[in-house]
Amino acid sequence: MGSSFRLGRIAGVDVGVNWSWLVVFALITWSLASGVFPDQDPGRTQATYVTMAVIAAVLFFASLLAHELGHAVTARREGMELDGITLWLFGGVARFKGRFPSAGAELRIALAGPAVSLLIGVACSLLAWAVALPGGVDGVLAWVGYVNLILLVFNLLPALPLDGGRVLRALLWGARDDFAWATNVAASIGRGFGYLLIGGGIALFAFQGAFGGAWLAFIGWFLLGAATAEQRYLAARQALAGLRVRDLMTADPITVPSDHTLGEFIDDVAWQRRHTTYPVLDDGRFAGLLAFRCVSAVPRDQWDARDVRSCMIPAEEVPRLRADQEAIDALEELSGTSVNRGVVMDDGHLLGILSAADLGRALEAGPRRRP
Ligand SMILES: [Zn+2]
């Protein structure tokens, strides 16, 4: 989920917003100001409706965040590391690092978000219904309460990766002590729901021309993709089980001194051993990765005039891995970057290099038989 910008840290958790959320924010504000609030609460000025709509959208945003923080804080308490929270098109995603420690822990983490939504939904609805509030406050609270309860119901569908799917997986996992089986069942139901929503959405769109149909199909398509990703991740985890970065990396790779020209690099290094990238060392320190594709794109007559730094991916952009790191974690780290490879460092020394292709070969080989 790229292209998100950082909002800040809340309760020790990094919070980001995906660009798609800005679109959602604008859509919600627009539909509330032009349709929902004028219908619900007629006789006010347009400026009032716009103000109500902006406040309602901000409160909705805050309640999504609170839902995710519910997951995040509980995960922390269960001893799980957290990467952060990103708000995007369909709400929030808390990104966990590593695996759930136990079925019970996953159950508690999965339920914590919906519990927050339930609390907000009930509290706002009760306030709007029971207390006479001035101006448009009533309408805003009623809508925030309603939308939180709707989201709660959707989130509790027993379809992985929705919260209800995590609850289902945790229960199955606990019952049979088989994480892989539980994931496959919950993800398959997720895919089933995905197809159902797509089919229902298309039918709605075709027979009634309803805009809601397109929306429904879109959510189904998202669910299908996310459930499939969940299954693929599981398969990757099984294939890489027990493997560490050390087992898959190219140890002691051929390096290039940073003061070499491209011509020297071609003469001394590249003609002997052809690789896609070569670590560049600056006085023994890792300075970056030289990409062979870049070198070959430079005209021959410029090879002696340019040094290897001109074709180098700088060290800051290259992921750092540890030799004892689990291969599945390295895969996650590399898949989030465009470099597609990472350097394995120990105490400032370059131990090796691991590429996405190395990991891909291990994935193709499938799960190894344990001795
Ligand atoms: Zn949730």
Q: What's the pLDDT tens digit per position in 130-175?
A: 877 776 788 899 999 999 999 899 889 888 888 899 899 999 999 9
Which of 77-81, 130-134, 360-364 has the lowest average pLDDT? 130-134
Residue 360: predicted pLDDT: 84
Share of the chain above pLDDT 90, in %: 22
Predicted confidence band at 371 (pLDDT cuts at 50, 70, 90)?
very low
| Cα–Cα distance for residue pair 102/183, rounded to 1 Å | 13
pLDDT reported for residue 348: 79
CATH of span 245-365: 3.10.580.10
- Average pLDDT of span 63-80: 89
Alpha-carbon distance 110 to 212, whole Å? Answer: 28
Note the pLDDT of residue 149. 93
> For 163, how many CA atoms within 13 A lie in the half-sphere containing its CB?
25
112 and 66 Cβ atoms separated by less than 8 Å:
no
Residue 55 Cα, ligand 1 centroid: separation in angstroms?
A: 23
Q: What is the pLDDT of residue 366?
A: 67
250 pLDDT band, cuts 50/70/90, is: confident
Q: Place 120 in a pLDDT band, splitting at 50, 70 and 90.
A: very high
With bands split at pLDDT 50, 70 and 90, how would you rate the model's confidence at 3?
A: low
Residue 89: the pLDDT is: 62
Ligand 1 centroid – CA 276 distance (Å): 41
Give the pLDDT band of residue 275 (cuts 50, 70, 90): confident
Tokens describing residue 60: 């909705």
When pLDDT is averaged across residues 27-56 and rounded to a whole number, the result is: 87
Of residues 271 and 173, more confidence is placed in: 173
What pLDDT score was predicted for residue 370? 44
Amino acid, single-letter form, for residue 27: L
Ranking 45-49, 202-206, 263-267, 273-277 by mean pLDDT, the lowest is 273-277
pLDDT band for position 227 (cuts 50, 70, 90): confident
> Is the separation of the CB atoms in 66 and 120 below 8 Å?
yes
**Token digits of residue 262:** 């491209």
The catalytic residues are: 68
Give the pLDDT confidence score for residue 260 in this predicted structure. Answer: 86
Rounded to whole angstroms, how far apart are CA atoms 341 and 286? 14
Q: Find the 90 Cα to ligand 1 centroid distance in Å.
A: 11
Q: How far is the CA of 232 from the centre of ligand 1 (A)?
A: 21
- Kindly state the percentage of the chain with pLDDT values over 70: 95
Q: Which residues hold their Cβ within 5 A of ligand 1, which is an ion? A: 113, 163
Whole-number Å distance, alpha carbon 72 to ligand 1 midpoint, is: 10
pLDDT digits (tens, 9 = 90+) for 277-325: 889 988 888 889 888 888 888 888 888 888 888 888 888 889 999 988 8
Would you place residue 85 in the very low, low, confident or very high pLDDT band (cuts 50, 70, 90)?
Answer: confident
pLDDT higher for 76 or 95?
76
- Measure 319 CA to ligand 1 centroid, in angstroms: 29
Centre of ligand 1 to C-alpha 258, Å, is: 48
Under 8 Å between Cβ of 342 and 321: yes
| Statement: residue 118 has pLDDT above 60 | yes
Going from the Cα of 354 to the center of ligand 1, the distance in angstroms, rounded, reads: 34
Mind listing the pLDDT tens digit for each residue in 208-220? Answer: 877 777 878 888 8
| Residue 92 alpha carbon to ligand 1 centre in Å | 7
CA quadruple 293, 296, 299, 300: dihedral sign: positive
- Would you kindly state where each structural domain of the chain is located, as residue ranges? 4-239, 245-365
* Mean pLDDT for the chain overall: 85
Please give the average per-residue pLDDT across 58-81, as a whole number.
Answer: 89
**In 3D, which of 89, 88, 86 has the Cα closest to residue 69?**
86
Other C-beta atoms closer than 10 Å to the C-beta of 62 total 12
Q: Are strands 256-257 and 277-282 parallel, antiparallel or unpaired?
A: parallel
Q: Are residues 259 and 249 in contact, defined by beta-carbon separation less than 8 angstroms?
A: no
Q: Is the pLDDT of residue 350 over 60?
A: yes
